[in-house]
Each structure stands twice: as structure tokens, then as C-alpha cells.
Amino acid sequence: MSGCNPRVVLTIEGDTAFLTLRHKESLNAIDDAAVEQIYAACRVVEKNTTVRAMVITGDGEKTFSAGGDIKAWAGLTPQEFGRHWIRRGHDAFDAVARLRVPVLAVLNGHTFGGGLELAAAADLRIAEMHVKFGLPEAGLGVIPGWSGTQRTVRRFGPSVVRRMAIFGEVLTAEQAVAAGIVEVLVEKGEGLAKASEIIATLRSRAPIATEVVKMLINAAEGEEVSRVLDTVAAMSVAYTEDLAEGVAAFRDKRKPKFKDS
């Protein structure tokens, strides 16, 4: 997203949206502005019916994201920390996880804390060989507050999350693949090319079916079950002649004649 203090840049190229963390001075750490810009970018992508996939990556080669920016939250009161920092981070990352299109995270640099929580919100993770992974929050006296003990457990499993979040283990890219954190491993600098290759295959698949399949998988994981059920059910009803008749009857101020079709 553009603005006077951009931390996140959204670009749309054809049918693919690219969300880039762009604050190399802080190792792409995620601050208040980045949180709001991630959320806003998801709203833009959600409304753009030409977009078939979104790619999240980091600017530079060293770090995808070092996590939540300590300078942004260290001085907050407990109330501010919970009500604003944690809650708004959840809003932004939930928007990524629940986006109607598939999301690919290209992890082209080290991925720690909030950076890993953001990657966990994607549907597929592509890591370059030099990348390391961790959840270091407890070493700072804080917890992984952007679903680092919830969505990460649902998607990666409790064992590896315990290793990182409780015992402070840092994983190599190869270990992350073995642990199920990363699905695709590529050489340094090849992450975006691999994402483009995967999206080319995705284009051959029906977009509505893909959207519904993603929602159903999210529901199976416990990712806002009620919204998914309501959405799928509403889409099914919207295809019926009964709906067209109901709308026409309302417009004509008459009783509807439903045919169960």
C-alpha cells in the first residue's frame, strides 16, 4: 500500500497480487503501520475479481521479517498491548488467512516471530535454502501473540511449535521442511520464480471451486467455521430459481411462487 510511511507495498501484476514487506532498516519488522497496511491490502485484493493469487515476500535477501517491531510495542501499557497491538495484528493476519484467493509466502530471508506468524497465514510456504525460522518471543518476556501458539499449531503441529516457542530452537530451511512448516524448498534467489510456476498451474484450476475448497479446509482447521458455513450455504442458495423468484416477487409486491428449483 502506498502512503506517507509505507511499510508494506501492494502491487498487482495481471492476476497476481504481490504484498512486499519493505522496511529493510528494521529487517522488515512489523510495526503499527505495517499491520494496518497488511489489513488494507487484503481488502483491496478481496474486492479485485481479476486476482487469482497473492504472494507475500520480504524486501531484500537477509530477512523476510524479524517479527513484531519491539520499538512499536515495548512502551505500551498492558491494556494498549492487548487491545490494540495484539488485536489489530490478529485482524490483519486473519484477513490474510481468510482471503478468498490462495496465498503463497515466499520466505527469501530469515523468518522469526511475527514474520513466521504471517507466513503461517499463507496457504503455501516457499523457503530459500539460507532461511532460518524461530519463535523467540519468550526470550524477550513476551508470547507469540499473533496466533503463534494457535494457527501455527493447527497448521504445523504442536511438537515443532513447542520446540521453537518454549525451547527457543531455531530451525534451518531443511529442518523446517521436515517439520512441515515449509512445503517447497528452493535455492537462494529462486523463491519468486517458483511461486510464479505454482501460480501458472493454479490458473488451470476453477477459481470458484478453488475458493470454496480453501474455505472448507479453513473450516476443518477451525478458521472461523461459522463464516465459512454461512458463505458456502449462501452461495448455494444464490444459484436457485427460488431466489430469483423471491426477489422478483418483492419487487412486484406480490406473493412469491416458489418451485423448489
The pTM of this model reads 0.92
pLDDT at 3 over 50: no
**Residue found by looking up cell 532460518 in the block:** 132
Cβ burial, residue 91 (10 Å; 0-12/13-18/19+): middle
**Residue found by looking up cell 416458489 in the block:** 258
pLDDT at 2 (0 to 100)? 44
CA distance 180 to 96: 20
State pLDDT tens for residues 150-195: 999 999 999 999 999 999 999 999 999 999 999 999 999 999 999 9
CA distance 19 to 159: 30
Cα angle 87, 93, 98 (rounded to 5 degrees) comes to 120
Q: What are phi and psi of 63, to 5 degrees?
A: -140, 125
Averaged pLDDT score across all residues of the chain:
93
Q: Which of 32, 136, 17, 165 is nearest to 92 (CA)?
A: 32
State pLDDT tens for residues 80-105: 999 889 999 999 999 999 999 999 99
Q: What percent of the chain has pLDDT over 90?
A: 81
Q: Residue 220: which H helix or E strand, with range?
A: helix 207-220
- Does the active-site annotation cover 117? yes
pLDDT at 185 (0 to 100)? 98
CA distance 74 to 82: 12
Higher pLDDT, 241 or 199: 199
Q: Residue 20: which H helix or E strand, with range?
A: strand 16-21
Q: What percent of the chain has pLDDT over 70?
A: 98
Question: Which residue out of 25, 61, 117, 187 is catalytically annotated?
Answer: 117
Cα angle 180, 169, 96 (rounded to 5 degrees) comes to 50
CA distance 86 to 108: 26
- Does the active-site annotation cover 137? yes
Question: Which residue out of 128, 137, 211, 223 is catalytically annotated?
Answer: 137
Q: Residue 35: which H helix or E strand, with range?
A: helix 32-47
pLDDT at 5 (0 to 100)? 67
CA distance 67 to 109: 12
Cβ burial, residue 138 (10 Å; 0-12/13-18/19+): middle
